[in-house]
């Protein structure tokens, strides 16, 4: 018997380009490219694009809490005698007579100071003579 020669079905198989593509993708995933190379710059560019452009498409629900500095329009100042003067915006008060006005002022001040009594108050007027706030002196109970 004569010896048979085994020849491959395809004498010279071309290398698949997918092999090099997968090698490149694996290099991106494992971060194996040297700094300053083209592939390193591509990876950094993709990361920067994600960081700066993703908020347009992804809702991260990371909005800051809105805080109003004076929710009731109260400014607290020391009176120099160890007490405080509370300045309340006139727009926070709706009462017209003195009794109701004191009750509304006290309702605004008590959550800040605790139990207190109004010793006196005076309106603060602007240049046109309109009341824009009230200065209130309070005694703690």
134, 87 Cβ separation under 8 angstroms:
yes
Average pLDDT score over the chain: 82
pLDDT of residue 67: 59
Place 140 in a pLDDT band, splitting at 50, 70 and 90: confident
pLDDT of residue 43: 92
Dump pLDDT digits (tens) for 46-100. 999 999 999 889 888 877 766 555 456 788 888 887 778 899 888 888 877 888 8
Dump pLDDT digits (tens) for 93-134. 887 788 888 888 888 888 888 888 888 899 999 888 888 888
């Amino acid at each position: 018997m004569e010896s048979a020669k085994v020849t491959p079905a395809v004498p010279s198989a071309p290398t698949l380009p997918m092999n090099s593509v997968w090698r490149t993708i694996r290099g991106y995933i494992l971060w194996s490219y040297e700094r300053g190379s083209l592939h390193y710059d591509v990876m950094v560019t993709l990361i920067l694009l994600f960081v700066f452009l993703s908020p347009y498409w992804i809702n991260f629900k990371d909005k800051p809490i809105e805080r109003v500095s004076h929710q009731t329009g109260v400014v607290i100042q020391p009176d120099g005698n160890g007490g405080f003067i509370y300045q309340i915006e006139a727009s926070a008060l709706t009462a017209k007579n003195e009794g109701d006005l004191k009750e509304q002022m006290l309702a605004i001040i008590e959550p800040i100071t605790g139990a207190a009594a109004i010793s006196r108050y005076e309106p603060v007027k602007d240049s046109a003579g309109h009341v824009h706030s009230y200065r209130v002196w309070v005694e703690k109970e």
